[in-house]
Amino acid sequence: MTKNTVGASEPKRNPGKQQGIQSIEIGGSILRALITIGRPAMLKDIALMSGMPAAKAHRYLVSFQRMGIVNQDLLSARYHLGPFALTIGLSALASLDPIRLASPILDELCDEIGMGVGLAVWGSSGATIVRYVDTGDAISVCLRVGRVLGLHDSATGRCFNAFYNPSAIQPALSAELEKLAGKDKALLSSLEREQKSIINTTRDDGIARASGSHTPGINGLSAPVFDHTGQMVAAITAVGTAGQFEAGAKSTEAAKVLAASTKLSSLLGYGSSEPS
Side-chain half-sphere CA neighbours of 237 within 13 A: 34
In sequence order, what E strands does the chain have? Answer: 70-72, 79-81, 116-123, 126-133, 148-149, 208-211, 218-226, 232-241
Q: SS3 of 66, please?
A: helix
Shared domain for 25 and 146, answered yes or no, is no
Tell whether 273 is covered by a domain.
no
Q: How many domains does the chain have?
A: 2
Shared domain for 107 and 70, answered yes or no, is no
The reported pLDDT for the residue numbered 197 is 94
Q: SS3 of 53, please?
A: coil
pTM of the model: 0.66
Convert the pLDDT of each residue in 211-241 to its tens digit. Answer: 865 566 788 999 999 998 899 999 999 988 8
* Domain termination residue (choose one: 92, 110, 142): 92
* Domain termination residue (choose one: 92, 119, 153): 92
Residues of the chain with pLDDT under 70: 1-17, 90, 92-96, 136-142, 212-216, 272-276
CATH at residue 171? 3.30.450.40
The reported pLDDT for the residue numbered 108 is 95
Domain residue limits at 13: 2-92
Shared domain for 46 and 174, answered yes or no, is no
Q: What is the Cα gyration radius of the chain?
A: 26
